[in-house]
Amino acid sequence: TRHPLRLLNNIRKKRSYLRAIATLPIGVNIESAEHLNALDYDCVVFGSDEIWNICNPFSAGDLTFFGAGMGEGPKISYAPSLGSTSLDDPRLASLSPLLAGFEAISVRDENSLAIVESLTGRRPDLVVDPVLLSKPDRPIKSAKTAGAIGAYLMDPSKHDVQRVCQFAAEAGKDLCSIGYHYSWAARNIAFCDPADVPGLLAGCDLVVTNTFHGVVFSLKNRLPFIIVSHPSKDQKINTFRRRLGLSTVTGEIEE
């Protein structure tokens, strides 16, 4: 591989996620619509987050996430998102009959709301991310988070890295990257238990993020935070900007 260190980091991160998943009360592992039908559930709930994002390589093309191949039982959704999918994407037309089979649909952002309404003629409910329904997290203080700016950034551009590093330098604080390992961060906590991410961010003085959940964690725990734009996440984050007036409580890193 061209990037052995990156590969090693990804392996370590995957192991930390698998350990966390093993602690969850998960029932039957369902791998197909046929298997699901055989279990004869009273209702199937679809959600959450980007299972409906047809631009996301992890879910794109799998119509099972829209109920394809499933029986006649009730189908409802809670807080899925079409993510970076745009309203004029020609692939959306094939989803219309599938979504029409849902008894109730709720989504987490205004872009998804507009798309579902366009495809079905029904206006779905706009609901919050499930994270916001839970209690605030206990801050996890450590030598790495203390006094630092918590960086929760997914694939930031070189330009954004330069801006964030300059911002931290001018503030006289170290950057502590949480959940991702970056060589430009003075401190890294990349291989933590996923459940500890909100608490680790809460242990920092400030959060800089370009992710939807970075914003969610910050709002839930009442943390000061700065949003860095990201092309695949802005559609969801913009709902927070408009609905909560985030421009009045968040900062911007100047160009």
pTM to 2 decimal places: 0.87
Phi-psi category of 174—alpha, beta or left, where left has phi over 0 and alpha has psi -120 to 50?
beta
Structure letter (DSSP) for residue 211:
S
Q: What is the pLDDT at residue 247?
A: 59
Is the domain spanning 149-248 CATH 3.40.1350? The answer is no
Task: Specify burial of residue 240 (Cβ count, 10 A radius: 0-12, 13-18, 19+).
Answer: buried
Q: What is the pLDDT of residues 50-88, one digit of tens each?
A: 999 999 887 767 899 999 999 889 999 999 999 999 999
Dist. CA 133–CA 37, nearest whole Å: 30
Average pLDDT over the chain reads: 90
pLDDT of residue 90: 95
Phi, psi for residue 218 in degrees, rounded to 5: -65, -45
What dihedral do alpha carbons 115, 119, 121, 122 form, nearest 10°?
-60
Q: Which two tokens stand for residue 245?
A: 């007036």
| C-alpha to C-alpha distance for 127 and 116, rounded to whole angstroms | 14
Q: Residue ranges per domain, the chain?
A: 30-127, 149-248
- Per-residue pLDDT tens digits for 165-202: 999 999 999 999 999 999 999 999 988 889 999 999 99
Element (H, E) at 36: helix 33-39
Nearest alpha carbon to residue 190 among 17, 1, 4: 17
DSSP notation for 151-193? EE-SS--HHHHHHHHHHHHHHT--EEEESS--TTSSEEE-SS-
Query: Within its chain, how far is the Cα of 121 from the centroid?
Result: 27
The CA distance from 216 to 244, in Å, is 12
